[in-house]
Amino acid sequence: MVGSDVLVIDHPLIKHKISLLRDVNCGTKQFREIVCELSVLMCYEATRDLALKRCSVQTPIIVDENSYVLKNKIVFISILRAGLGMIEGALELIPDAKVGHIGLYRNPKTLEPVEYYTKLPKDVENCQIIVVDPMLATGGSANDAIDIIKLSGAKNIKLVCLIAAPEGVEVIKKSHPDVKIYTSAIDTCLNKFGYIVPGLGDAGDRMFGTE
C-alpha cells in the first residue's frame, strides 16, 4: 500500500522475516538478527528517493563525468531502547551516516512517553533524518521524538518502524504530516495495555532478553 504519507512495504522477504519475529518461539539471538536484517531491507526502501549530485570519478580507464553521490548527509536516530536494534542494519546500508539517540520510556500507568536522554549530531538542519523504532504503537514516543528533532532544526524527516498500529499512524499523520512513515504492516489495533495486536510483544524486551 502506497500513500503520500504512509508506505507499507510489500516485499516477500520482509513479510517472511516479520512472521518469524511474531513467533513467540523466536529467541533473543534470532530476534536481534532478524531485526537487523529487516532494518537493512526497510531502510533501503526508505532511501529510494534520496537526492543525488553529479560528480566525476577516475576509473581505471577514463574520468567518468556521470557518476553520482548522495547530496545530503544521512542521520539515523534511534528511539531508545528498542531502536538500537535497528541501527546496526541501518549502518550496514550507509556506514558513514551519523547516529543520534533519543531516550524515551512509556509510563506504564498513563502510557505517555517520558524523555530521559537526547544526543543528536550538531549539523542536522540540512541532513536527511531517518528515525528508527521497531514499533509504532500509541505514537506517543515517535511523536515526541520528532518534536525534539524538529526543535534541533531538522526539516527532512522519515520514520521507519517494523510494525505499526492504526492509532499510532494517525497520531503521526495528524501532528507531523510532513513525515513519511515506512512500515512492513499496519496491524489491527492496540489492546488495553497499549500493545499492538497481533503485534510481536515488547520489542525491547524480546531483543534484549529482559521479558
The 10s digit of each residue's pLDDT in 7-58 is 999 899 999 999 999 999 999 999 999 999 999 999 999 999 999 999 999 9
Pick the closest to residue 90 from 137, 159, 3 (CA basis): 159
Residue 16 CB coordination number (10 Å): 10
The CA distance from 15 to 12, in Å, is 5
- CATH number of the domain where residue 91 is located: 3.40.50.2020
At residue 4, the pLDDT reads: 58
> Is residue 140 within 8 Å of 106, Cβ to Cβ?
yes
Mean pLDDT by 10 residues, the chain (211 residues): 75 95 95 95 94 94 94 94 92 95 82 86 92 93 94 94 96 95 95 92 88 70
Given this model, what pLDDT does residue 204 score? 87
Any domain includes 32:
yes
Vertex 125: Cα angle to 71 and 95 (nearest 5): 50
CB 198 within 8 A of CB 21: no
Q: How far apart are CA 96 and CA 130, in angstroms?
A: 14
**Tally of domains within the chain:** 1
Q: Note whether residue 161 is domain-resident.
A: yes
Q: For residue 185, is it within any domain? A: yes
Domain assignment present for residue 67? The answer is yes
Q: Is residue 1 part of a domain?
A: no
Query: Rounded distance, CA 45 to CA 114, Å?
Result: 30
Q: What is the pLDDT of residue 71?
A: 92
CB 130 within 8 Å of CB 76: yes
Whether 90 maps to a domain, the answer reads yes
Strands 180-183 and 156-160, bridge-based pairing: parallel
Quick check: is 113 in a domain? yes
Contact 89, 113 (CB under 8 A): no
Residue 32 CB partners (closer than 8 Å, separation 6+): 85, 207
For residue 50, the enclosing domain spans 6-208
Cis peptide bond upstream of 198, omega within 30: yes
- The amino acid at residue 81 is R
Say what the pLDDT of residue 2 is: 44
Cell of 177: 504530516
Beta bridge partners of 114: 105
